[in-house]
């Protein structure tokens, strides 16, 4: 067992070095603008499929970083994704993270409408945080609702589409990527069946660290103390 790397920053730095080496061995070259996001997701999942299945609309990273630097908040579709977002980094930029899944009014509205709480959460996000980053890591119904809302005029700072599973998952990601492209809304989507709350949070964290000029873990430690 290699015990050389014992600090969080040292472990992360070595992990990223290994990821970079394995990407090279696989013949995969990442775009400079998206590299931090892709590597962060691979770091979180140990799954190199994300090097090819993460899709970005043009300028998505740059526009999301600018939004975070201007104080944008995040709304997620799960409390797990909310827990995974770096509160220290987001707070340093003036933003907050929200999840409305446990809101009794959301639960009642979902029951009345015959839909999911995740879909109603996106309606609430559109009303209360129309310029937020909307990070979906679980429910394809949330992405499909966002498509409806964007067709009606919603323009979030970024849509993260990373639900995981088998029913409407692939279709919802394809749909949201197309709708975001149509209306010029930045989007980062994990195509196919893979995804999850951890992936949604990892994408957000990579963007937050980029916004703080703190992708390097040592520098991040200096910035967030």
Would you name the residues annotated as active-site residues? 43
Q: Residue 76 phi/psi, 5° resolution? A: -110, 165
Rounded to an integer, what distance in angstroms lies between the CA atom of residue 37 and that of residue 15? 14
> 51, 60, 63: which is closest to 20 by C-alpha?
51
Rounded to an integer, what distance in angstroms lies between the CA atom of residue 192 and that of residue 162? 9
Q: Which helix (H) or strand (E) holds 122?
A: helix 117-128
173 half-sphere exposure, CB direction, 13 A CA radius:
27
Give 160's contacts (C-beta < 8 A, 6+ positions apart).
133, 134, 135, 136, 137, 187, 188, 189, 200, 203, 204
Q: Which helix (H) or strand (E) holds 200?
A: helix 197-211
Angle (CA) 81 95 80, round 5°: 10
Q: Which residues of 209-221 are buried (b: 16+ CB within 10 A; e: fewer)?
A: bbbbebbebeebe
Report the 10 Å Cβ neighbour count for 21: 10
């Amino acid at each position: 067992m290699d015990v050389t790397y014992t600090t969080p920053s040292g472990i992360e730095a070595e992990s990223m070095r290994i990821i970079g080496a394995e990407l090279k061995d696989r013949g995969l070259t990442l775009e400079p603008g998206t590299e931090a996001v892709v590597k962060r997701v691979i770091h979180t999942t140990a799954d190199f499929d994300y090097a090819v299945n993460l899709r970005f609309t043009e300028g998505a990273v740059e526009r999301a970083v600018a939004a975070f630097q201007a104080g944008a908040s995040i709304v997620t579709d799960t409390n797990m994704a909310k827990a995974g977002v770096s509160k220290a980094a987001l707070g340093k930029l003036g933003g907050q993270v929200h999840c409305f899944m446990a809101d009794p009014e959301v639960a009642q509205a979902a029951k009345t409408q015959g839909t999911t709480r995740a879909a109603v959460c996106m309606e609430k996000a559109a009303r209360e945080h129309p310029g937020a980053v909307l990070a979906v890591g679980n429910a394809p119904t949330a992405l499909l609702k966002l498509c409806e809302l964007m067709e009606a005029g919603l323009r979030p700072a970024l849509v993260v589409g990373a639900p995981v599973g088998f029913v409407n998952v692939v279709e919802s990601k394809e749909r949201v990527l197309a709708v975001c492209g149509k209306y010029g809304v930045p989007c980062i989507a994990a195509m196919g069946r893979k995804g999850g709350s951890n992936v949604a949070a990892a994408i957000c964290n990579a963007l937050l660290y980029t916004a703080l000029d703190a992708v390097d873990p040592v520098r991040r430690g200096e910035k967030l103390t």
